[in-house]
Structure 1
Amino acid sequence: MIKIPGGSYIIGTDHADGFEADNEGPRLTVVVPTFWMDETTVTNAEFAKFIEATGYVTEAERFGWSFVFHYFLSEETRMKSQLVPNMAWWYAVAGADWRHPEGPDSTIEMRMDHPVVQVSRNDAIVYCNWVGKRLPSEVEWEIAAKGGTNNERYPWGDEEFILAGKHRANIWQGDFPGMNTKDDGFMNTAPAKWYEPNGLGMYQAVGNVWEWCSNPARIDLEKFQTTTSEEIWQTYQQVDDTYYATRGGSFLCHYSYCKRYRIAARNGNSGMSAANNLGFRCVK
């Protein structure tokens, strides 16, 4: 884990980069105590140790299906799956779970150092309690993602996404959603510890996988001026299907569709949902 010094920080953005409904601003100042954050998202190897020690069965496994983006389905799996209404490009895939992220004919055998995916927020809570940690609040996540800077877009700066011709995050390149050129080296997830970390040592703060947070989605940023992250965790640790915050964007983000691969970008998902681009990291 990496140490995030306590103090006064500016969060949010006044730029019109995102979507009005995401409630990304206005910028404001918050004060937080020192906390520790995982340098990477929880990996398949780490999650496997948890499963082996506890026998826990994830929600996707109990439900018998989960969400998978069309691009990663074999033709055989696609024919057996159902396109999700009002969710373009997503399929409900029987047998998709953390061991089989893209369906029953997929495997994590060669991806043990990649982020675990197909994990609901409820699953993440159980993991956090087992390991003696918790999910970060959005304010903790954003402060850590800044890496000791005042940046609002990317840990390496606010101007160029590709800096000096070098990719620093895993998002979609090419023609979304039909063709990925893999210019950054990856079509799917990248190893959790891959591109250069930010100034505090946090790996892949943007891109790769969405990361669950502890608070409900899109609450006013002012809430973080009056409520501590510990209080948020205690209030919202229950298992339910409320919409909760997710941060960081994923390998499916593209400038033409989802511009949320930025530090200040906000999103959310239902607490019982899992998908092949959704993971988490812990704090304490």
Structure 2
Amino acid sequence: MNPFTIRPAGVVVLFAVIGLLSATFAVSPPAMLSRPGLSVPSAAPEGADRYLPTVIDSASVAPTPAPEGMAWIPGGEFSMGSSDPRRELCGGNEPMEDARPIHRVSVGGFWMDRTEVTNAEFARFVAATGYVTFAEKVPRPEDYPGAPPEMLVAGSIVFVQPREPVPLGNALRWWRYVPGANWRHPTGPASNLTGRDREPVVHIAYADAEAYAAWAGKRLPTEAEWEFAARGGLTGQRYTWGADLTVEGKWLANIWQGAFPHQNDAGDGFTGIAPVASFPANAYGLFDMSGNVWEWCSDWYRPDAYALAVKAAGGGVVRDPRGVAQSESYDPAEPGMAKRVQRSGSFLCTDQYCTRYMVGTRGKGAPDTGSNHAGFRCVQDVAKR
């Protein structure tokens, strides 16, 4: 789950709560809590033996030298998507149909960050460039005509754990727009990054992630690249590590254990964000491709994107897909808002509410909206070396 697109400084919380409570809260926080800006607005799959990965990329051997902190993803052909039949509240209590149909996709080789971008890495970027993130900027009055001036303050979306059970159909019971929350202050003005250098940077809008990537000589991954890398060569598996949620009683990802959202048992050792690489890497050497924090992908979101891609490919292999155009982006929960794809799930994911930490599933978020469980990682093309 990413943050539900929670619009500016609580403005929408005051003016649009009633109308939005019935909306689907997908993987992100409610759009009513989002900010203005870029928005224009485990079972294996059936016939899993038909989906055996076949490496087709000619650059299957890693080029040298390897970029620091990155893993070589050899490229190849794989089966993308999920046919999991389970229903979830964060998806409107509907099966995850936006991850269907399972279809054959090929991607070329590329480098990928082994971990999510950390606070320390993002701090170096800011120190070198003076960059100011979206959450640190004050919303402009012209974007919110009629909003009280005291509500137009910089901030971002923060998970606030309820003290008692609450209805899971109302995500506003645990999401808040917190003035002063940003990447430097993850839970609000009173918080800081002391001891958090190795945690993923959060409260990152899409443009913030793009700016960092450009500075680092990298880019954001496509959704197909991200899923190919996350699978690590496994076929027909529900999780990035295999078919079972735990292995020998051990948790292999930072997700929620306990009664969501009021009781966190921390069975995986963490009640919130974990330092990167706290769990085993997949076969490609990538950490935290499931859980911890959501990660931006470059594709614009559309629930039937896979069906459209298969049709465009004539029913054959979809090669190096880039997703739909911005003008074609569509989220049934918020029809007027173009969204980008987000992947991996976060420390708040739980089978009680949102299972989109599974490797073939999809998330989405408004490009102008960050939260304290959304970050990113980058990729780099061979040509850049």
What amino acid maps onto 1:11 in structure 2? M
Instruction: Please report how far the alpha carbon of residue 14 of structure 1 lies from its aligned counterpart in structure 2 after TM superposition.
Output: 2.0
Other-structure match for 1:3 = 72
Instruction: Please report how far the alpha carbon of residue 183 of structure 1 lies from its aligned counterpart in structure 2 after TM superposition.
Output: 1.1
Other-structure match for 1:247 = 343
Instruction: Please report how far the alpha carbon of residue 21 of structure 1 lies from its aligned counterpart in structure 2 after TM superposition.
Output: 5.8
Contact (CA 8 Å) 2:71, 2:113: kept in 1 or not?
yes
Instruction: Please report how far the alpha carbon of residue 86 of structure 1 lies from its aligned counterpart in structure 2 after TM superposition.
Output: 6.3
Deviations 1:220-264 (A, max 9, x none): 2253855635x669x77xxxx731100011001111101111001
Which of 53, 57, 61 aligns to 2:128? It is 53
What amino acid maps onto 1:93 in structure 2? V
| Matched-pair identity in % | 43
Contact (CA 8 Å) 1:68, 1:90: kept in 2 or not?
yes
TM-score for both structures, normalised by structure 1: 0.88
Instruction: Please report how far the alpha carbon of residue 13 of structure 1 lies from its aligned counterpart in structure 2 after TM superposition.
Output: 1.8
* Segments ≥4 residues shifted beyond 6 Å: none
Other-structure match for 2:194 = 109
Other-structure match for 1:166 = 250
Contact (CA 8 Å) 2:133, 2:204: kept in 1 or not?
yes
Which of 369, 379, 384 aligns to 1:273? It is 369
Is 2:161 the counterpart of 1:71?
yes
Other-structure match for 1:261 = 357
Q: Which whole-Å CA distance do the structure 1 matches of 2:116 and 2:273 have between them?
A: 12
What amino acid maps onto 2:276 in structure 1? A
Deviations 1:46-99 (A, max 9, x none): 0000000000000000031100011299xxxxxxxxxxx963411010000001
Which of these two proteins has the greater Rg computed from alpha carbons? 2
Contact (CA 8 Å) 1:249, 1:261: kept in 2 or not?
yes
Instruction: Give the SS at the match of 2:177.
Output: strand
Which of 186, 191, 205 aligns to 2:289? It is 205
Other-structure match for 2:112 = 37
Q: Which whole-Å CA distance do the structure 1 matches of 2:97 and 2:187 have between them?
A: 28
Q: Which whole-Å CA distance do the structure 2 matches of 1:202 and 1:195 have between them?
A: 10
Other-structure match for 1:228 = 320
Q: Which whole-Å CA distance do the structure 1 matches of 2:374 and 2:171 have between them?
A: 19
Is 2:265 the counterpart of 1:157?
no
Is 2:264 the counterpart of 1:180?
yes
What amino acid maps onto 1:39 in structure 2? R
Instruction: Give the SS at the match of 1:180.
Output: coil
Is 2:98 the counterpart of 1:23?
yes
Which of 122, 125, 143 aligns to 2:207? It is 122
Instruction: Please report how far the alpha carbon of residue 179 of structure 1 lies from its aligned counterpart in structure 2 after TM superposition.
Output: 1.1
Give the CA RMSD over aligned residues: 2.1
Instruction: Give the SS at the match of 1:37.
Output: strand
Contact (CA 8 Å) 2:83, 2:96: kept in 1 or not?
no
Deviations 1:93-138 (A, max 9, x none): 0000001010011111111001000111110011111111111111
Gaps of 5+ in 1: 74-84
TM-score for both structures, normalised by structure 2: 0.65
Q: Which whole-Å CA distance do the structure 1 matches of 2:281 and 2:96 have between them?
A: 30
Q: Which whole-Å CA distance do the structure 1 matches of 2:264 and 2:112 have between them?
A: 32
What amino acid maps onto 1:150 in structure 2? T
Q: Which whole-Å CA distance do the structure 1 matches of 2:290 and 2:171 have between them?
A: 26
Instruction: Please report how far the alpha carbon of residue 152 of structure 1 lies from its aligned counterpart in structure 2 after TM superposition.
Output: 3.6
Gaps of 5+ in 2: 1-69, 88-93, 139-153, 164-169, 311-316, 327-336, 381-385
Distance 1:204 1:72, change over 3 A: farther
